Amino acid sequence: MAIEIKVPQLPESVADATLVTWHKQAGQTVTRDENLADLETDKVVLEVPAPVNGVLKELKIVAGTSVTSGQVLAVLEEGAGAAPSAAASSPAKPAAATPAAPKATAPTAPAANQGDKLAPSVRRMVEEKQLDPAKIPASGRDGRLTKGDVVEYLDQPAAKAAGGEKSAASKASAPVAGAAGRQDQRVPMTRLRARIAERLLEAQHTQAQLTTFNEIDLKSVMDVRAKYKEGFEKKHGVKLGFMSFFVKAAVEALKRFPLVNASIEGSDIVYHEYYDIGVAVSTDRGLMVPVLRDADLQSYADIEKNIGSFATKAREGKISLEDLTGGTFSITNGGTFGSLMSTPIVNPPQSAILGMHATKERPMVVNGQIEIRPMMYVALSYDHRIIDGREAVQFLVTIKDCLEDPARLLLGV
């Protein structure tokens, strides 16, 4: 029985999607729940699973095409016995395909098999460079190919000589400028990158954004972490990081200054009486901000586990739209990349975002004595239309106080 494979129902906020990659080609056998294709929206990558076992009879849409909810992508012939009958139903195929079959199928079979394990960013790189994933040594978990593996492979002399497995004809037709052979590569933005660019411009054009700074002595937090990290990990099965301290401090500050947790809707100010904290995660596809729901009710262990889970899902392209929806306040940590100071951009309709930065040892005056202390600059970017400088400064001071004396977080003082 022939079954139509359709675009799944897209969320209300998503009008269409782009068919990025087919993992299976017409004539190939598929199993139930196997991923057939990737659909990229402006927020997440969605998988299109096979509803039953069978043979992929026909592809209706080519990669790179925009599609909408319910649109037919392919036709699947149900049942394991569908392959022979499909071949038999094509009278012209045996005669024409017999001599060409080895050339057409031999090189692509390994890539199709390996392709099922590739993350979207790795798959995109492999396809752009026209590489065979089966020939690239994989160092990732469970034998998965990573972006670093592809980069390292391309850096090898053999790969460079092969030009990323491009044919000599394609090389000959490549545009070359000047004696040095310099050339440009033009690729379209992904939907996510285009959406990020759109939202950043929207934020700057629709909000009166301002940034205030402070610095935090993290010695007390580092001492607590060093003292309890082994017991914490043994009991909860997750490492005790710094982010959980910052999330807890942010929740405390948001409780004291509700305007920072509010948003503007038309001519109204909406005060949110819950604390859904977005935590920025950097991926190969761009910056994503999954949301910790009811962060005030989560323990330190819950926060660390959820952030770790979000990071893994985001980098594997498996994060859901629900994970990214909402949020009343955000935290971004440029310190993981070495940033010493920056002015983060607010994520509308939120009204503020906290920026963390690298921790550096600096000489500080403590009780009249100069001591070397682990210091971090923090930044709060905020919508000046509803948040005044007084609230912004006091908000950061509250976070500073909570982190320089972590007991405040336990006592709520």
**Percent of the chain topping pLDDT 70:** 81
CATH of domain 1-106: 2.40.50.100
- Residue 284: which pLDDT band, with cuts at 50, 70 and 90? confident
- Residue 16: which pLDDT band, with cuts at 50, 70 and 90? confident
- Residue 108: which pLDDT band, with cuts at 50, 70 and 90? very low
Domain ranges of the chain: 1-106, 112-167, 193-411
* pLDDT at 109 exceeding the cut of 90: no
Q: What is the pLDDT of residues 187-242, one digit of tens each?
A: 777 777 777 788 788 888 889 999 999 999 999 999 999 999 999 999 999 999 99
pLDDT mean over 97-120: 45
pLDDT at 32: 86
* pLDDT at 336 exceeding the cut of 90: no
pLDDT at 413: 67
CATH superfamily of 193-411: Chloramphenicol acetyltransferase-like domain (3.30.559.10)
Name the more confident of 412 and 343: 343
pLDDT at 60: 87
* pLDDT at 384 exceeding the cut of 50: yes
Average per-residue pLDDT in the chain?
81
- Residue 387: which pLDDT band, with cuts at 50, 70 and 90? very high
- Residue 171: which pLDDT band, with cuts at 50, 70 and 90? very low
* pLDDT at 102 exceeding the cut of 50: no
pLDDT at 94: 39
- Residue 377: which pLDDT band, with cuts at 50, 70 and 90? very high
pLDDT mean over 132-144: 76
Lowest mean pLDDT segment, chosen from 12-26, 166-180, 271-285: 166-180
pTM value is 0.63
Catalytic residue numbers?
A: 384, 388
* pLDDT at 291 exceeding the cut of 60: yes
pLDDT at 159: 54
pLDDT at 24: 87
* pLDDT at 332 exceeding the cut of 80: yes
Q: What is the pLDDT of residues 36-71, one digit of tens each?
A: 888 887 667 788 888 889 888 889 888 888 888 888
Q: What is the pLDDT of residues 312-331, one digit of tens each?
A: 888 887 888 788 888 999 99
Topology of domain 112-167, CATH: Dihydrolipoamide Transferase (4.10.320)
pLDDT at 120: 65
CA distance readout (Å), 211 to 173, 189, 387: 50, 29, 11
